[in-house]
Amino acid sequence: MLIVIEQVLDRDEVAAMRELLDAAAWVDGAQTAGSRSVAVKQNLQLDRADPLAGELGNTILRKLGHNALFISASLAETIFPPMFNLYQNGGHYGTHVDSALMRMPDANRTIRSDLSATLFLSDPADYDGGELVIEDAYGGQGVKLAAGDMVLYPSSSLHQVTPVTRGQRIAAILWLQSAVADTQARSMLFDLDQSIQSLSVGRTKDDPDLDRLIHVYHNLLRRWATL
């Protein structure tokens, strides 16, 4: 399930974030790559210990906490703090899969990565290349979104970032553990929830048909959630 969430950040919020990131102290992204990924990773990133990473990451998490589509699609239980990366001058990240288990920085816990997300912070007209290519049952899907938009996809997917041949591609990436680990179950819950939202338009709050659907949704969630 690949889901695009538009305008997680609006234009002004992106501009404010970019002003800070354009003056940030970027470091070699290879330092956080795994033993195999380091051979295919060529980018820059904001150090996790950089106060700016924490400040901007918290801004994104606050926005996601109020985004109904993100909540419905992810059923997020725990979110790994957002990381910021920059690709330029041919920078790329070859085909790889995200780590299944990720140790939370500054927290005594490990999360299971069920979903990955990329929040684009560069206008697509400002750079060439830099597509996020996600492999699924239908082949590779290239994603290059407007600044402020996010794509959410299974962490189990093979994916890559193609070389950036002009300009800079800046993005925030994050991983999360969902309350529902099974991808198919989570997808069905998402479809059911979106249908309930659509059918709710113009109906009274005590509509019995909607009540039955909501009853089914929550009982399925209760059955599939692993908390």
Known binding residues for Fe cation: 96, 98, 159
pLDDT digits (tens, 9 = 90+) for 120-172: 999 999 999 999 999 987 789 999 999 999 999 999 999 999 999 999 999 99
pLDDT digits (tens, 9 = 90+) for 39-65: 788 999 999 999 999 999 999 999 999
- Would you say residue 36 has pLDDT above 80? no
What is the torsional sign of CA 208, 214, 220, 223?
A: negative
Q: Does domain 3-178 have CATH number 2.60.120.620?
A: yes
DSSP summary character for residue 193 = H
Single out the residue of 80, 40, 104 nearest to residue 176, CA to CA.
80
pLDDT digits (tens, 9 = 90+) for 59-115: 999 999 999 999 999 999 999 999 999 999 999 999 999 999 999 877 789 999 999
Taking the C-alpha atoms of residue 218 and residue 216, their distance in angstroms, rounded to an integer, is 6
CATH of domain 183-224: 4.10.860
Please give the pLDDT value at position 34: 56
Q: What is the mean pLDDT of the chain?
A: 94
Please give the pLDDT value at position 139: 85
pLDDT digits (tens, 9 = 90+) for 10-27: 999 999 999 999 999 999
Known binding residues: 96, 98, 159, 169
pTM score, whole prediction: 0.93
Known binding residues for 2-oxoglutarate: 169
What is the arithmetic mean of pLDDT over 205-212?
91
Residue ranges of domains in the chain? 3-178, 183-224
Taking the C-alpha atoms of residue 67 and residue 149, their distance in angstroms, rounded to an integer, is 12
Taking the C-alpha atoms of residue 17 and residue 169, their distance in angstroms, rounded to an integer, is 14
Please give the pLDDT value at position 205: 83
